[in-house]
Amino acid sequence: MTQTSGGQLPYWRLSGFYVCYFALLGLSAPFMALYLHHLGFSSSRIGELIAIPMLMRCVAPNLWGWLGDHTGWRLNIVRSGAICTLLAFSLILVEKSYAWLAMVMALYAFFWHAILPQFEVITLAHLQGQTSRYSQIRLWGSIGFILAVVVLGRVFEWFSLDLFPYIALAIMAGIVVSSWWVPNAHSSPSSRETVSGGFLRQLARPGVLAFYLSVALMVLSHGPYYTFLTLHLEALGYSRGLIGLL
């Protein structure tokens, strides 16, 4: 394993990345639907646009994961993905039509969903022998999320949702910077035996099937929660600052 000079764990560098990454999630999860509604889109159109990143989540991590496994260039994938996420989302400033926004959502999500799985591998590689500290690092992702929803809720209440794309680009720039701040690390080869059989054979195992079913139900419940809860709360008269707190 390669770590920083002296073999010290780059705790704050790893934590800083998680802060920025989940701050972007804290912006998009509660406020993306409000922004699209602010642009005048109907509920059906909002649902379609927000479904696009979820579709990319089913495709992109598998492709980028395969690339990372076969090249070992995980940190390069993280950095390139962060830059491409920023560049792709900046296209939102060009036009606000439905077709254009659909393209922007697909492009930025394709690269954004490449980042976290590869970065998790890098984090675990740095933590070899110190795996108990993973939760201490990952905690900063939750802190970034909470700060984003609370602070930005007030920002959108006091100013305007027109600031949404600019704030998103600023956070994405933070992801780019933090990714270049993190040193590389390579995980050691696994000593575990490779499980025989392909994906479908493993999926047929009762425990694996139950796990996938529970995850599918959880994600299904998150669909209306992430997409329409903020719109519902605003329709009930809640301020955007209070929505962020909730």
Longest C-alpha distance within the chain, in Å? 58
Task: Answer for the pair 157, 237: CB distance below 8 angstroms, yes or no.
Answer: no
In a domain? residue 222: yes
How many domains in the chain?
Answer: 1
In a domain? residue 155: yes
Domain region containing 179: 23-187+197-245
**Per-residue model confidence as pLDDT tens digits over 138-179:** 999 999 999 999 999 899 889 989 999 999 999 999 999 999
CATH code, 158:
1.20.1250
In a domain? residue 18: no
In a domain? residue 1: no
End-to-end CA distance of the chain: 42
pTM metric for this prediction: 0.84
**Per-residue model confidence as pLDDT tens digits over 77-130:** 999 999 999 999 999 999 999 999 999 999 999 999 889 889 988 888 888 877
